[in-house]
Amino acid sequence: MGSGVIEIKGLRKTYGAKGRRDPQVVAVDGVDLSVGEGDVFGVLGRSGAGKSTLLRCVNMLERPDAGTVSVGGVELTTLNGRRLRAARHGIGMIHQHFALLSSRTVAGNVAFALEVTGVPRAERRTRVAELLDLVGLSERAGAYPGQLSGGQKQRVGIARALAARPKVLLSDEATSALDPETTDSILRLLLDLNRRLGLTILLITHEMTVVKRICRSAAVMRDGRFVESGAVTDLLHRPESELARDLFPLDPFAELPGQTVVDVSVSGEDADIPLLTEVARTLDVDVRVLSGSVETLAAGRAGRWRLAVPGDGAAVIHHLRSRGAVVAVAEASS
Ligand SMILES: Nc1ncnc2c1ncn2[C@@H]1O[C@H](COP(=O)(O)OP(=O)(O)OP(=O)(O)O)[C@@H](O)[C@H]1O
């Protein structure tokens, strides 16, 4: 067994055929996942990849057909009824369309989550105030969801999800319905909660920005499977990584007479040494940046470039590697 707060092994979920003509859909096809305490883990994938189904299996909103799911050391797949409901209190969830009660105020929506867990009235009042303060919404306590912006609605969703002091927060495309600025403010809030409360976050998204801004680990999901998974900075160094390509897009490969085209990735402190001028100066060669950039990600400083170097590039490649960069010779297919 691994030691993640969320441990998933061999998870599989199929949906039955609706009619004789509909084939069975394999939504999740054997996923293993371990999310460490305090991590922010993003699952990326196109529509239909199986992300929602995977997330809904983590709190048993969907029952998997096979595999195991443990959260905080509790194996959920074996639980039912009251014990499952109790375990779910340790798992908060936020949604793309917020799922608020329109007839209740902001405070009432948050209080509702406390009512269902049996928190006494007096304590509820204090806790609601604390939670609204935590998400920066104290001044709108008496407003109704219809009077709130999308970002404010999501803040209510977050306050409600944290009511029972969960260790884990599941986020189902929480920023997909928001404009870029509001997305930013919600992502900042999630990162802040992750740091202040030690909250472990598992999120699904189709937006690369979300991975850039808040994820330290990520997986790419396709046809119900993880095609890659790991620390964002590790994935970045794999030449075949889709995540690396999406985070740091490079211009298409083109052959250059008398030169070699190389792809270089750097992370951590290595991203900030003046590597390219250093190699050019030390070896007295011209190094041309064809494309790429260095950025500050939630996972740390990181960058990727496609370079043109003279001749077979052997000396440059050797030097870059000696300074901690990961280097691969680019080819026609890349
Ligand atoms: N309740 C259901 N009944 C039948 N098929 C379903 C059901 N829910 C999902 N599916 C199918 O399972 C597959 C995975 O869907 P899922 O919603 O998990 O993917 P997703 O990556 O979250 O996509 P999206 O972002 O569009 O929701 C799809 O082919 C979908 O049509």
pLDDT higher than 80, residue 134: yes
Give the residue from 198, 242, 247, 209 showing the smallest Cα distance to 37. 198
pLDDT higher than 90, residue 174: yes
- Boundary residue ending a domain (208, 236, 264): 236
72 in the same domain as 176: yes
Residue 124 confidence class, pLDDT cut points 50, 70, 90: very high
Domain count, the chain: 2
Q: How far apart are CA 106 and CA 148, in angstroms?
A: 9
Residue bearing the CA closest to ligand 1, atom 1: 15
Residue bearing the CA closest to ligand 1, atom 11: 27
Q: How far apart are CA 317 and CA 334, in angstroms?
A: 18
Give just the sign of the alpha carbon dihedral 193, 194, 199, 202: positive
pLDDT higher than 70, residue 122: yes
> pLDDT tens for residues 201-225?
999 999 999 999 999 999 999 999 9
pLDDT at 334: 65
72 in the same domain as 201: yes
**Secondary structure letter of residue 48 according to DSSP:** T
pLDDT higher than 50, residue 276: yes
Residue bearing the CA closest to ligand 1, atom 29: 48
Is 258 a member of any domain?
yes
Is 1 a member of any domain?
no
Residue 82 confidence class, pLDDT cut points 50, 70, 90: confident
pLDDT at 220: 97
289 in the same domain as 325: yes
Residue 24 confidence class, pLDDT cut points 50, 70, 90: confident
Widest pairwise Cα distance in the chain: 77
Residue bearing the CA closest to ligand 1, atom 8: 53
- Boundary residue ending a domain (236, 257, 273): 236
224 CB within 6 A, ligand 1 = no
Contacts of residues 133-136 at CB distance under 8 Å and 24 or more positions apart, as own/partner, are 134/159, 134/162, 134/193, 135/159, 135/189, 136/189
Contact 84, 246 (CB under 8 A): no
The whole-number average pLDDT for the span 157-175 is 95
Range of the domain at 266: 249-329
Q: How far apart are CA 313 and CA 331, in angstroms?
A: 14
Sheet with 200-205, edge to edge strand ranges: 91-95, 168-172, 200-205, 40-44, 217-222, 225-231
25 CB within 6 A, ligand 1 = yes
Give the residue from 210, 169, 289 showing the smallest Cα distance to 45. 210
Helix axis angle for 121-134 and 106-116, nearest 10°, is 130
Name the β-bridge partners of 5: none
Compute, in angstroms, the gap from residue 54 CA to the centroid of ligand 1. Answer: 10
Mutate to test the pocket of ligand 1, among 43, 53, 222 (most ligand atoms within 8 A of CB): 53
pLDDT at 20: 64
pLDDT at 109: 96
52 CB within 6 A, ligand 1 = yes
